[in-house]
Amino acid sequence: MPPDQEQDYVDYVSARLPRLHRTAYLLCADAHRADDIVQATLTALYVNWKRAAAADNVDGYVHRMLVRRYLDEQRRGWTRVLLGDRLPERSAIAADADPVGGRRHLARDVGDAMEHPDR
């Protein structure tokens, strides 16, 4: 990016950062997550600054980027890891989900079916 465009970008971000953070916070209600959304939006804005600066409404363009970034994060379906001082208890479902044990039961059932075909 040419130095004059980079300075325009820095000036724009410096002036709009509090507003962008406030909007992101209102969307997700978490200050740390809002920081992540704003950072990702500003990174994408830097890459596309030439196109954004040429838009009729730069604020609207960036606002739309921010909202779409938030929605993309919501749609991903990944879960956040919550750290604690002890490990969660192992559930009964997780104990039954042993793939080796499941194969053993399947092999036993197939063997029984082969011994008694009229069942």
Would you state the pLDDT for residue 74? 84
Contact 50, 5 (CB under 8 A): yes
**Domains, the chain, ordered by start:** 3-75 (1.10.1740)
Structure tokens given for 108 = 């036993």
In the block, residue with structure tokens 């920081």 = 35
Q: How many helices (H) and strands (E) does the chain have?
A: 6, 0
- pLDDT per residue rounded down to tens, the chain (119 residues): 788 888 999 999 999 999 999 999 999 999 999 999 999 999 999 999 999 999 999 999 999 999 999 999 888 765 566 667 777 676 655 555 555 555 666 667 666 666 766 65
Report yes or no on whether pTM surpasses 0.85: no
Measured distance CA(60)–CA(31) in Å, rounded: 22
Would you state the pLDDT for residue 88? 66
Would you state the pLDDT for residue 86? 77
Would you state the pLDDT for residue 95? 54
Would you state the pLDDT for residue 3? 83
